[in-house]
Structure 1
Amino acid sequence: MTHPLRFGIWAAVHGSRAAHHDPDEPDDATWSRNRALVLEAEALGYDAVLVAQHTINPYDEGRDQLEAWTASAALAALTRRIEIITAIKPGLYHPVVLAKMALQIEHVSEGRFGINLVNAWNRAEFERAGLPFPAHDERYAYGREWIGLVDRLIRGERVTFEGRHFRIKDYQLKPAGTFRARPTIYVGGESEPARDLVADHGDVWFINGQPHDDVAALIADVSRRPAAKGRLRYGLSAFVIARETDAEAQEEHARLLDLSRRDDALRAETRARTDAASVMFAKTDAASSRHVGTNGGTAAGLVGSYDTIADRIQAFHAAGVELFMLQFQPFEREMRLFAREVMPRVGRPGAA
């Protein structure tokens, strides 16, 4: 079964996604900019916003960084239709505390909230705070126990549990189940532990931007795992450059790629703080000379004419992608252009 096509945006939690020296887009991660961005996205017809979680800016520690969970609570109160998906790194919050926060935002949003479980890759964010940063597979083992507890708690179950990482005695959170069984659980990551985790505990698997055939192969692999059959859905991250012609889009891509080379020193510093076992960075490092954007960016191929991009979106959708989580630059201008020109071409008329 193919699920309805949906479009979301990445919140500007740490500023620009493609290049930090673009004269057309100041590197602005303020609350006021993000509030305006999300409200406009909702008005334009976008279905979701993903609020990535970082405590310090992962690319340049001297720049601003939006706090994900307090910002998401505020967005829940300000919006009326758009889904708010907030990333969480399990090592930063005890499952009881995080589950209570999630239920509160679910209640404020009246059933429009989702948790995006991610495996932390920025060692400095943990180590400088004196928090443990285990090896890659150990973090997934911790995350598996963590999300199993969060899942039960946000359903309103009374939980008693003693495991390797957590001991919980007779805990129940209320209110729960007011609008649905629980908030949606999104899971990111493409390693084998990540695929097992999403098959067992996820509702939606977020895949980093990459070509159609690679995405189709990933979906085929996870969909064969027994626990996923009949319920798992798929999302794809992508950076969009849409123009009237393919040539114009490629010209803009070249401009952003040239600007992004001025960020080479920032990328090197970020890579030095990154877990070497990160599958995302292993892929994006190899493609960084050809693509812009985070989490795969333009590797998904959404660069071209309005018709070209519409055709590629339809092909991804046929392969099983339900939700496209999009990046743009300059964000506001290009977000409007996509809503006006591409959404109607895939049967999703945007707002004026």
Structure 2
Amino acid sequence: MATTPIRFGIWALVHGPRGAHQDPEEPYDASWERNRDLILAAEELGYDSTLIAQHTINPHQEDLDQLEAWSAAAAIAALTKRIEIIAAIKPYLYHPVVLAKLALGIENISRGRFAINLVNAWNRPELEKAGIGFPEHDARYAYGKEWISVVARLMEGERLSYEGDHFKVTDYALRPSSLYRRRPVIYVGGESEPARDLVAGHGDLWFINGQPLEDVAGLIADVAARPRGAAPPLRFGLSAFVVARETREQAQAAYERLLSLAAKDAPMKAIQKRNTDPKVVMIQTMQKTPHVGSNGGTAAGLVGSYDEVAARVEEFHAAGIELFMLQFQPFEAEMRRFALEVIPRVRARRSAGPVERQAQSSGRGG
């Protein structure tokens, strides 16, 4: 059994519902006020982390609202006391010197609770319409690898002189550096070969998209075996959409309702597909299994009775997953349900012996 702690986080609703956009129980609301209240509620319920995805324009439909990630992260940092704040970033949108300075600012506002999530871009119009351009897949990762090497060293307080293929930095140092630890944590997303190479060399935690346990275990084994130099062992996180109820039948009915509602978003998904680089492995993974939610969603299998979902979480944790970054719908009600019903079961299973865990598992399905 894995010895690392289990942590639970939530995806902030920066561009509306995560499962279906035409759900009467989840009206579209990507406002600052809604996200502020959501994250404050998550912290009160005991969640450990929140991920604020970064888009300048809505990736699903450009006339829909889109919260700006980094200004929101700074504000959340000032309002919260305990929860980790992860802001995603696409390297082409910010020079590494500027981004490192922003990251250190939020790190110090939060008193050492900030992290960045490096995402090497998949939404073509976001970059092309800004005149930045959209290089091919592997070129984006080469750029991101150089970009994060500069950002990491500046966040550590190093006085940096650097010249590479994309950046030239001369005698540059940022003050103050982190007042609470060496630097903010670096999360990395992406499952292609260049992404795996990047996270092994420069990441602290790898975000894996929701997918079956055996696939996740294979990904972890591959990347964990890659050389890390003097860096600590890589940690792992999983994105997942949760549908948990007292019984398996109730959960399946709720899942099928969401699946039916998500089907109404087909025109929106077609636009997103046209705008997405087909080489992005996330998109290939998400097409394997019918699912609800983004980044793999329910493909991770966290659909079932409270006991079933708790057992499934434990199985992923045993395979190496430390952080579960979760989606729900309707978000606030289901986030609360998970905190009150599933997390205590996970904790109880963690403290139980093998015989007791087997007995708990035999009662799955309600």
Q: Same fold (TM over 0.5)?
A: yes
Tell whether the 8 Å contact from 1:29 to 1:66 is kept in structure 2 after alignment. yes
Query: What's the secondary structure of 2:265's corresponding residue?
Result: helix
Q: Any residues of structure 2 matched to 1:99-248 within 5 Å, and which?
A: 99-227=100-228, 230-248=232-250
Residue deviations 1:250-299 (CA, integer Å, cap 9, x gap): 11110000001100000000110111111001121232xx2100000000
Give me the whole-angstrom Cα distance separating, in 1, the residues matched to 2:178 and 2:41: 30
Tell whether the 8 Å contact from 2:156 to 2:177 is kept in structure 1 after alignment. yes
Give me the whole-angstrom Cα distance separating, in 1, the residues matched to 2:150 and 2:314: 37
Structure 1: 5+ residue stretches without partners: none
Give me the whole-angstrom Cα distance separating, in 2, the residues matched to 1:96 and 1:310: 42
Give me the whole-angstrom Cα distance separating, in 1, the residues matched to 2:155 and 2:198: 18
Query: What's the secondary structure of 2:117's corresponding residue?
Result: strand
Residue deviations 1:106-165 (CA, integer Å, cap 9, x gap): 000000000000110000000001012110000000000000000000000000011100
Report the identity percentage.
65
TM-score, structure 1 as length reference: 0.97
Q: Any residues of structure 2 matched to 1:15-30 within 5 Å, and which?
A: 15-30=16-31
RMSD: 1.2
* C-alpha deviation, 1:178, in angstroms: 1.0
* C-alpha deviation, 1:177, in angstroms: 3.2
Tell whether the 8 Å contact from 2:10 to 2:326 is kept in structure 1 after alignment. yes
Give me the whole-angstrom Cα distance separating, in 1, the residues matched to 2:203 and 2:348: 26
Tell whether the 8 Å contact from 1:207 to 1:237 is kept in structure 2 after alignment. yes
Query: What's the secondary structure of 1:54's corresponding residue?
Result: coil
Tell whether the 8 Å contact from 2:224 to 2:233 is kept in structure 1 after alignment. no
Query: What's the secondary structure of 1:326's corresponding residue?
Result: strand
**Runs of 4 or more off by more than 3 Å in structure 1?**
none
Give me the whole-angstrom Cα distance separating, in 1, the residues matched to 2:94 and 2:251: 42
1:285 counterpart (287, 298, 306): 287
Instruction: Name the amino acid aligned to 1:240.
Output: V
Give me the whole-angstrom Cα distance separating, in 1, the residues matched to 2:159 and 2:45: 41
Give me the whole-angstrom Cα distance separating, in 1, the residues matched to 2:272 and 2:49: 28
Instruction: Name the amino acid aligned to 1:61.
Output: E
Tell whether the 8 Å contact from 1:187 to 1:198 is kept in structure 2 after alignment. yes
Give me the whole-angstrom Cα distance separating, in 2, the residues matched to 1:108 and 1:281: 35
* Range moving further from structure 2, 71-80 or 228-237: 228-237
* C-alpha deviation, 1:310, in angstroms: 0.3
TM-score, structure 2 as length reference: 0.93
Structure 2: 5+ residue stretches without partners: 350-366
Tell whether the 8 Å contact from 2:178 to 2:184 is kept in structure 1 after alignment. no
1:13 aligns to 2:14 (yes or no): yes
* Structure 1 partner of 2:79: 78
Query: What's the secondary structure of 1:145's corresponding residue?
Result: helix
Tell whether the 8 Å contact from 1:84 to 1:114 is kept in structure 2 after alignment. yes
Instruction: Name the amino acid aligned to 1:341.
Output: E
Give me the whole-angstrom Cα distance separating, in 2, the residues matched to 1:209 and 1:286: 11
